[in-house]
Chain A
């Protein structure tokens, strides 16, 4: 069984925000809610600026599912983390638990009123019947049931944002890394594998 995953290639992302626009348009996301956004680190630092597109990562062991007091989250057979808006009480626990800031709340009213939580559905809809009007109104389009992939990943011009079967996109990313070289120039290398041997600074050359 395939497990759906997103993977953003920071070497390719050009911060065009096309994925954000595609998501909002495809799912008719209300004002004030961004299911996906592009985060830039080292903004303005020449050679060190990187951007990644972030949304719900559909965690294998999702903390939002663990903390929800009304147990409104569920996971599909494809590993997509979805929630039932009819059960959501808008407490915001999932927002605090999520390391990616994926859960969004449409309102900021009196007495801490938040409204029902909204988040990326991997374009897989919700608990309502597939492609029904009720499903579209609450959760957006169900592209997965149409034999498609999330609009953000398909729309990405540089194909920095990969989405789909985790095994397949891992193979694609592995192939890219093999071609471009693996070393200190790859974003996150130092974090994952420690500083370069011999105490030398990263040169950025291919290994």
Chain B
């Protein structure tokens, strides 16, 4: 019995390290996964505000007719 206890503790230690590592990796994936599409350039392109016929723009068109 005295020889078995150190082996068991070593196994328990390795098991706990493995389980902890897997849990950490899962947590990182869960945290970053929703953020990836928001940071991608494709989304930025689609969200970009383009040309708008604002008062400023219409005023420019008016000045070109002088």
Contacts and interface: CB of A to CB of B under 8 A. Distances in A.
Interface in B10-45: 41, 44-45
Interface in A138-182: 144-145, 147-149, 153-154, 159, 162, 164-165, 168-169, 172, 175
B4 interface: no
A128 B56 CA distance: 24
Given A4-B51, A76-B50, A168 B61 contact: yes
Interface residues of B, number: 19
B60 A164 contact: yes
Contacts, number: 61
B48 interface: yes
Nearest to A127: B41
Contact of A159 (B41, B44, B57, B64): B64
25 contacts: A4-B51, A76-B45, A76-B50, A86-B41, A124-B50, A127-B41, A127-B44, A127-B45, A128-B44, A129-B44, A130-B47, A130-B49, A144-B52, A145-B48, A145-B50, A147-B52, A147-B54, A149-B56, A159-B64, A165-B53, A168-B61, A169-B64, A172-B64, A172-B65, A175-B65
Interface of B: 41, 44-45, 47-54, 56-57, 60-61, 63-66
